[in-house]
């Protein structure tokens, strides 16, 4: 697993995901990649169209962005998580201690 990165504006501090060309807060082009940091699962759902159900959650990062991720075992609405991605770019939310 690879730690997920988001963009942060060096001018106003706004965080963004997915990557952008300009800051959504101030329009600056000075964006750099930083670790996504912790977040909390706001909502969850299960897709049952495949042989194996897929659990997805909406994660609000402490830095602001809202990201949809696959939920690892032990995660659900209200769970504090960290986000990782696979080499295939699948984003996973994994529970962390509060």
3-class state of residue 3 by DSSP = strand
pLDDT of 1:
84
pLDDT of 73:
94
pLDDT of 98:
64
**Number of structural domains in the chain:** 1
CA-based torsion, 63, 69, 75, 78: positive or negative: positive
The terminus-to-terminus CA distance of the chain in angstroms comes to 21
Query: 39 lies in which domain range?
Result: 2-95
The average pLDDT across 82-89 equals: 94
Distance of alpha carbon 21 from alpha carbon 28, whole angstroms: 9
Q: What is the pTM (predicted TM-score) of this model?
A: 0.89
What are 20-76's pLDDT values in tens digits?
999 999 999 999 999 999 999 999 999 998 789 999 999 999 999 999 999 999 999
**Distance (Å) of CA 59 to CA 3, 40, 50, 76:** 15, 5, 23, 10
């Amino acid at each position: 697993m690879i730690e997920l990165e988001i963009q942060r504006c060096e001018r106003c501090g706004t965080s963004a995901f997915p990557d952008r060309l300009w800051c959504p807060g101030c329009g600056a082009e000075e964006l750099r990649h930083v670790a996504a940091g912790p977040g909390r699962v706001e909502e969850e759902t299960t897709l049952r169209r495949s042989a194996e159900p897929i659990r997805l959650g909406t994660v609000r990062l402490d830095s602001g962005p809202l990201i949809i991720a696959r939920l690892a075992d032990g995660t659900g609405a209200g769970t504090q998580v960290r986000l990782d991605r696979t080499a295939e770019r699948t984003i996973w939310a994994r529970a962390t201690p509060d």
